[in-house]
Amino acid sequence: MRRRVVVTGLGVVSSIGMGKDEFWKNLTAGKSGISDIELFDTSDYPVHKGGEVKNFDPSKFIPKNRIKDVARASQFAIAASRMALEDSGIDPESIKNRTGAIIGTTMADIQSLEQINKYWTADGEENIWPINVVKYPSNALSDHPGYFFGLVPMNYTISTACAAGNYSIGYSFDLIRRGKADVMIVGGADPFSRITFTGFNRLYAMAPEKCQPFDKNRKGMMLGEGAGILILEELELAIKRNAPIYAEVLGYGLSCDANHMTAPRFEGIVKVMERAIKNSNIKKEDVGYISAHGTGTPANDKVECDAIKAVFGDIAKNLSISSIKSMLGHTMGAASAIEAIACCLTIKNNVIPPTINYENPDLECDINCVPNDSVERKVNVVLNNSFAFGGNNACLVLERYGKR
């Protein structure tokens, strides 16, 4: 069975806006979501900024008597899921036996573990709050949307680090295409935490002030947080209920380098894009835009540019290739899901978001990175790149609905 799969709802929690409309407005305006971190004290760190979600009110999405039972990443996932469901206009009750939630993450509800450590080291084991033990496991990310929206059949968490959002979309695409589900809540969520912030600082991967993908003087990534949730739906069902269709999911590619825990590998990135193109039954010249992984680290950006040029050859000169991490920071497991939402809105609105903070061209990254300002351009097919620690790579292909 090869049913067609479309995107009918979008929900976003990000440092540049809540909901798809505010997110898209600020994204295309090139607004930076990088600010001083307020969630914890950074005075002992060399870096003090990141893409923190400010003024998030979970009570707008979760019953007040349940908020204490839900940690920050799950709060983001629930909020983005609710927005996506409302955007799609679908009643969860009508689909609860043919649906589920698949959420990607890197750190899940890591803040609950931090609370466990805090009270354990200060006052001993007996003073650990039991609720934090329940809130921490990563399965909570998919369990909570499943619980709050009555999606019983299939709830999974995928933890392939910073490619997890694309993995969750790809797996859900397969479930719908093969007739095992009709509608899926998919995407990714990750929170800021002291543990994550410490880890990336110790890897010396963090830029001090701003993220500058593809710039000659780029100094590293900025850490971010948030959630991106998409509603994937079988095409005939979407047509029957007159649902909004943002894009059609054509396919995806995966590769696992098994080469190095943190360093990107040229061959793996080439392979994942080639597999995505082949599995989606498109031609390379069909692609008009690539949402780059584009972290702003010297190694990642160079390898990604080299791989794009190797895959596309002379076609690469005509491609628009931008990194929205320049605005959001790297939201880890949420990154490729939020970027998939940006791809859907690019197709819908015929506008390509920019790579901001671009100041000095790098001859080793000689691509059209849509520097600093968004551009109006109609694109029918987009690639969404994501490359994770451990060499877990995923590339998603989206197309304007109606082209086939």
Residues that are catalytic:
162, 293, 330
Contacts from 301-305 at CB under 8 Å and sequence distance 24+? 301/213, 301/214, 301/218, 301/362, 301/365, 302/362, 302/364, 302/365, 303/264, 303/265, 303/266, 303/269, 304/264, 304/269, 304/385, 304/387, 305/214, 305/364, 305/365, 305/366, 305/367
d(C-alpha 316, C-alpha 303), whole Å:
14
Beta bridge partners of 234: 5
Task: Specify whether the CB–CB gap between 336 and 384 falls below 8 A.
Answer: yes
Count how many residues are written for the chain: 404
Residue 271 burial (CB count, 10 A)? 20
Task: Specify whether the CB–CB gap between 186 and 232 falls below 8 A.
Answer: yes
Beta bridge partners of 371: 355
d(C-alpha 190, C-alpha 110), whole Å:
9
Residue pointed to by tokens 């061959």: 267
Residue pointed to by tokens 């991490």: 325
d(C-alpha 120, C-alpha 98), whole Å:
43
What element of type H or E holds 104?
Answer: strand 99-104
Per-residue HEC secondary structure of 223-256 comes to EECEEEEEEEEEHHHHHHCCCCCCEEEEEEEEEE
Three-state DSSP class for 79? helix
Q: Which two tokens stand for residue 213?
A: 């993908």
d(C-alpha 306, C-alpha 269), whole Å:
9
Q: Which two tokens stand for residue 370?
A: 């849509």
d(C-alpha 59, C-alpha 56), whole Å:
9
Three-state DSSP class for 147? helix
